[in-house]
Each structure stands twice: as C-alpha cells, then as structure tokens.
Amino acid sequence: MSAKTDLESSSATATQSQEMNGADVVVESLIREGVDVIFAYPGGASLEMHQSLAKRKDDIRTILPRHEQGGSFAAEGYARVTGKAGVCMATSGPGATNLMTAIADAFMDSTPLVCITGQVYSKFIGKAAFQETDFFGMTLPVVKHSYLVLDVNDLPRIIKEAFKIATTGRPGPVVVDIPKDVQQALVSPVWPSDEDVPYRESKMPAKASDQELENVLRRIEDSKRPVIYFGGGVVSAEAHKELTQFAERAGIPVASTLMGAGSFPETHELSLKWFGMHGSAFGNWAVHQSDLLLTFGARFDDRITGDVTKFAPQAEIVHIDVDPSEHNKNKIVHHPIVSDIKHALGRMLELMDQKGFKAPEIQAWRDQCAEWKRDYPFSYNESEHIVPQHAVEVLMELTKGEAIITTGVGQHQMFAAQFYDFNHPRSLISSLGLGSMGYGYPSALGAKVAAPDREVIDIDGDGSFAMNVQELATAKIEKIAAKAMILNNQHLGMVVQWEDRFYNSVRGNTILGDESNIGTPENLGGLYPDYVKIAEGFGLPGRRVHKKSELKDAIQEMLDSDEAFVLDVITPYDEHVLPMIPAGKTVDQMIVR
C-alpha cells in the first residue's frame, strides 16, 4: 500500500526552548506536528498530560470520549477522512488496554494513528504496580512501532519520529508509552527538525523503474480481458485522480476493495463497484475471467479471493504495492513491483504519451462487463416492511451520494456498501480488516470533527451500535453533529445469516432481545432496547420508524437536525446479504439470488 511522503519541515536545524516538564513537551510536540484535536480520557498515569492540554486548549482541542475504545475509534475516523495521523491518549493499565482493538484495527486497515499512553513510575515497571501493564510489549505485534520513553530528553525526537512513521510509506499505528516520572521531569527541550529525525525504516517508499512500468503497459496493450483491482493503498497515496485518468486512458474496467471504495467513482461506466465475498457479482465474474489483473495498493485478502488457489485463474497478475511484504504473501503473482502507487500511476500516464501507448481493443470485453452489470445488479425483494437495502437507497437519494458514511460490522455494513454509491475517496469509513463491531458511531464522531461541513451518517446495526452507545454523550457535550441510522433487526444479523445458511437456523445467542417476545415491524412491543429513549437520556433527538410510508420523512428529519440524531429503523431479521461467496469457496460457488 502507499501514502504521501512529503514531510513538512518545521525548521532547518534543531532549536532549544526554556525549561518545562515532560508533559508540556508532549503537548508542544503535538502542536508542532500540526495536531489540532486529540481524543483523550484521563487517569492517574496521564494526569500530567491532561493538565498540559488544559493549559493549551486554545491551540489543541481535547475531546473527552466516554470510553477509551470510543476515543481511539474516533481518532481512526478522523485519520481516515483527513489522511493525517489521528491522535488518542489514555492512562496506564486498563485505559491503555482499552485502546488495543483500535490499534489492531488501524494496523489491519493501514490507518495512521498515534496512541499516547501514561505509564506507572519507571521504578514500578515490571513489579505489577497498580494499573500497570506492559503496553509496549503487548502492542508489538500490531503496530509499526512502539516506544517506552525512559528519558525525558528523548520526548521531542520520539514524538516527531512517531508521526513520521505513522504517516509515511504504508501508514499504521504507533504507540508512545510515557511513565509518570518522565512526564513530571523538568527539561529544556531541543526541538528537532525533520532532517534531524531519520526515517526508521530501511528506506523511503520506493518508486518503480520506467522499465518495470513500460513492461506493464506492454502487457495492457496485448490483453483481451484486463481488469484493474485496487485497494486502500490508492486512498492512502491520494492517487485517486491518477487512477481515474489511467483507467480512462486504457479503457479498462475497474473493481475495488471496500478499503478503496470511492477512489474510482462507482457511477462511472467502467466501475465494477467492489467485489469479494459480498461484492458485486459482475465484479467477481470480471476478475475471475480476466486475462490481466492489475492490482494496485491491495493485498489479496481472503474476503476478496475466497479460495486463493482458484482466484483469477486465467490472469497474468501485476501487483504494485509500497509494502514488499505483501508481494506473494497471499497470492503468487507474475509481476511484483515495489512502488508508491501515486508515482507508478502518474509515471505510467507520462509513459503512455512518451511511448505511443495504444489502448487494447477490448470492446467485446467491456460489453460483457456491461451486460453483467445490467443483468445482475445489487437487488432485493420488495416487502411491505422497511428492508435495510431500501433504507440505504433512500439515504443515498436524499444525500445525493455526498455524505460520509461510517458503519459498524455486519449485514448493515454490506448493505451500506452495496446500495450507497461512493464517488469520492475517504467517504466510506469502516472497520474492514479486523471487523470491529462498535466502530461505527465513534468513527463518525471523528469523521465529523475532521469534516464539519459534510453530512456524516453512521449506518449501524443494533448489535454494533450498542457496543459504544455511550459516545452519544460525547456527541452531545462536544456538539458533534454525527447522525446514526440504526438498521434494527433485533439480531446479530450476519451471524444469523450464517446460522440460516450453514447451521440449520439454530440460534446460538444471536437474538438481542427477549427470545420469547422478539421485536419485529409487526411486534413493536417486543423491541428492545428503546434507542429513542436512550438518545433522549443523553439529551439528543431521536425517532423510530417502521412504516415504509414514513421512512423518507424520518431520514430527512435526521438530516435536518443541527445536532446528533438517532434514527431507529425497524427492519425484518430474515434479510440476507447477497451475493455471497461462502468462506473458502470460489466465484463458481457464488450465491447470487
């Protein structure tokens, strides 16, 4: 995957400041890195840093989440919308461990995240002190880098280094663990410039050679059934314009992963939307039958490939990625190229002009893809009730496709991606590699802070929403107008779908209410809990809707709200997400209708 590599230079040489304590150094370092917001929950071991933040509230906004996980998911949402590192902070022990899910999530989805944690006094480390955990060791498998700061003089360099590591190359999370005595220690800090802080990885992102890229162009000229398959690396690299120009110039159909959604407009005639387990049938068929698969900033995830040995069996595969560890990890490819994807795409566009590139004659292939799109669109059966797919379609219509959509994890996540068309990058914010329930609403808060002028809606399931429902308090008190549209079926919908398909519909703890009185559109008395009353308890407006005739008005009421709003949409629980390629199976075994 790839990312921006231009680093803003703060000064030509290191400079020294007056004496201050370590906590003040941390906050000053954040401000020097351009951080304008931090999501931070205080505790004994991080108290010093919160005191420093309080003194600098005109320079950096501190948002108090109601759970550390909510704060760290919010920081991820902020990062995914801006491309900058999201920043969160927690105290030692349980405060720090509550960040772990978001750290792993950021690692899987290549999200730039800087997590600062307080730690017990240095003299107590390793002695099972109150609220002590080895957070440095605990996070090593799921970070780009972890620091345990034992010398206050190292803080300015480490903070600058943390941001450089988090945002360059393939982005990811960095942890900085700071004992309380280091926060309290006095120092006259020396502020390093970017030149004073070397890049810790072996080298800055590579750039493909012209020879490698010319070889790709020759393969395209000779192809009969080419497809572009791209992922989140295109988003991280801000390479969406180059991708669109490249696809149009070559005339090649384009399929994305969910991480890449929106970097190529999904309403474009060449778009195959996204493919994989629950992706478009037409996208899956096109990739499966391709003779040349151009893979840009993607990693051949199992949810994309199914049985990887039978993935794109006829294709010659080109894989351009900034991270060489992804080459031949999941799928053996014919042409692995290590490169920043923005450079590779931009340079191929230049080489097309310089070398007299001739687009392949593939009208018959494009006609076939168009026929699949026409005959097998995402679809659903009409119902007298509000089905989740219809709710997403109405939201799409009323927002004209211009909203930022966040999601939890489950059926609602797939329905959101299937029935909302994304035409801009950084508009679908979802936990995709780790699949973290509870991600939707906190990430919507971070997204709204990042883009206050855009409508931000969390399309959520009742199971996922309940996991971080406390963040409604953050929305109210911090005046963050992120909306939540809950597709409420009273079940863990995706698990229920698997129970129906593969486990004879035996319910193994997937009903979220009273099993003897399950709430449905026809049994409103069984609905549990009452999300409108919960919203009201947090001081926010809400509305429940179960009639199709009232859906449009209810969604418009949510959109018109000047503050956060909870819209509880009651849906049947027997809807299944289709298409579906069962886990470990192939496109030939896809359930289409």
Catalytic center residues: 68, 130-131, 180, 494
* CA–CA separation, 436 and 45 (whole Å): 27
Per-residue tokens: 382 = 């009409």
* Burial classification of residue 55, based on how many CB atoms lie within 10 Å of its CB (0-12 exposed, 13-18 middle, 19 or more buried): exposed
Nearest to 247 by CA among 349, 365, 333: 349
Nearest to 97 by CA among 127, 62, 142: 142
Per-residue tokens: 119 = 């730690």
Q: Is 103 in contact with 87 (CB distance < 8 Å)? A: no
* Burial classification of residue 138, based on how many CB atoms lie within 10 Å of its CB (0-12 exposed, 13-18 middle, 19 or more buried): middle
Give the sign of the dihedral formed by CA 52, CA 58, CA 64, CA 68. negative
- Asked if the bond preceding 324 is cis, omega within 30° of 0, the reply is no
Q: Between the CA of residue 90 and those of 43, 148, 179, what are the distances in Å?
A: 7, 14, 12
Q: DSSP assignment, residue 140? A: G
**Coil vs helix vs strand at 336:** strand
Q: Is 572 in contact with 489 (CB distance < 8 Å)? A: yes
Inter-axis angle of helices 411-419 and 388-399, nearest 10: 40
Nearest to 170 by CA among 71, 263, 298, 69: 298
* Strands 61-63 and 456-461, sheet pairing: unpaired
Question: Distance between alpha carbon 518 and the CA centroid of its chain, in Å?
Answer: 33
* CA–CA separation, 25 and 281 (whole Å): 54
Q: Of all helices (H) and strands (E), which one includes residue 535?
A: helix 531-537
* CA–CA separation, 464 and 18 (whole Å): 48
Per-residue tokens: 381 = 């059966």
